[in-house]
Amino acid sequence: MNDAAAKPSAARSAVVLLSGGLDSATTAAWAAQAGFRLAALSIDYGQRHRVELDAARAVAHALGITDHVVLPIDLAAFGGSALVDAAIPVPKGRDEAAIAAGIPATYVPARNTVFLALALAMAETRAAEAIVLGVNAIDYSGYPDCRPEFVAAFEAVAALATKAGVEGRPTRILAPLQTLTKAEIIRMGLGLGLDYGLTTSCYDPAGTGAPCGGCDSCLLRAAGFAAAGAADPRIDPARWA
């Protein structure tokens, strides 16, 4: 899959939002396979699970993405989420019904709107025709800004917001995982040769990067690997010994 990403003469280019998690890594691998020349954007937004930025760098390297911007922005200045505010605990040990039932404490206000807006700015400076985003509305955490109608509404904003849009080249928002289950996503990534050991999903990892195993994200990931009939290289105990 590095072949497509590395082609310097590829006509199509895209900016991929790369968190270092399973979904965005799969999305990036999909886009590289689809022939896009990729630039990657990762956001250092004060998340307590900052090990994911190291994971994002590892995934970018594995996919041959050299134009990778890690942009610091202090969303913690606004407060209001367990992911950026150490005073709010990360929920642990919830079942899938509880995870799906409501908007959890790990919700970061307007996060995907902020990330897409920044990706749009980056896409315009690179004349990229698309933004690729790993949102998923099936096995997800109840975040409103992962829904297909949200993505469609943002695409309408993108078409109106930019010089490229005015000139008839609106930026498309591609969300290839939108309707896939977590197991289907994992099977797709494995088929693309992606090493999920490079990715991290835990909201509350140890200092070593070892996943906690109990947060919503760890539980959704474990259920996905189980349903896909695959082993998760990230949770190999030998790795964290």
For a copy of itself, the binding residues in 95-124 under the rule CB under 8 A are: 103, 107-114, 116-118, 120-122, 124
Report residue 134 as tokens. Answer: 């790993």
Q: Which stretch binds a copy of itself (CB under 8 A): 77-85, 179-187, 220-228, 230-238?
A: 77-85
- Rounded to whole angstroms, the maximal C-alpha distance in the chain is 55
Q: Which one of 80, 197, 209, 214 is in contact with a copy of itself (CB under 8 A)? A: 80
Residue 155, SS3? helix
Q: Which one of 79, 93, 191, 193 is in contact with a copy of itself (CB under 8 A)? A: 79
Closer residue to a copy of itself in complex, CB, 122/130:
122
Per-residue CA distances from 146 to 19, 151, 168 (Å): 14, 7, 27
Closer residue to a copy of itself in complex, CB, 100/190:
100
Q: Which one of 101, 166, 206, 231 is in contact with a copy of itself (CB under 8 A)? A: 166
> Is position 83 an interface residue for a copy of itself (rule: CB under 8 A)?
no
> Is position 36 an interface residue for a copy of itself (rule: CB under 8 A)?
no
Min CB(235)–a copy of itself separation in Å: 31
Radius of gyration (C-alpha) of the chain in whole angstroms: 17
> Is position 163 an interface residue for a copy of itself (rule: CB under 8 A)?
yes
CB 29 within 8 A of CB 61: no
Number of residues that bind a copy of itself (CB under 8 A): 43
Contact mark string toward a copy of itself, 123..162, x via CB under 8 A? -xx------------------xx-x-xx--xx-xxx-xxx
Distance CA 166, CA 227 (A): 45
Task: Name 224's Cβ contacts closer than 8 Å, sequence gap at least 6.
Answer: 22, 139, 181, 182, 183, 185, 186
136 backbone φψ class: left, alpha, beta (φ>0; ψ -120 to 50):
beta
Closer residue to a copy of itself in complex, CB, 166/231:
166
DSSP for residue 180: -
Handedness of CA 193, 34, 112, 77 (dihedral sign): positive
**Where along the sequence are the contacts to a copy of itself (CB under 8 A)?**
69, 71-75, 77-80, 103, 107-114, 116-118, 120-122, 124-125, 144-145, 147, 149-150, 153-154, 156-158, 160-163, 165-166
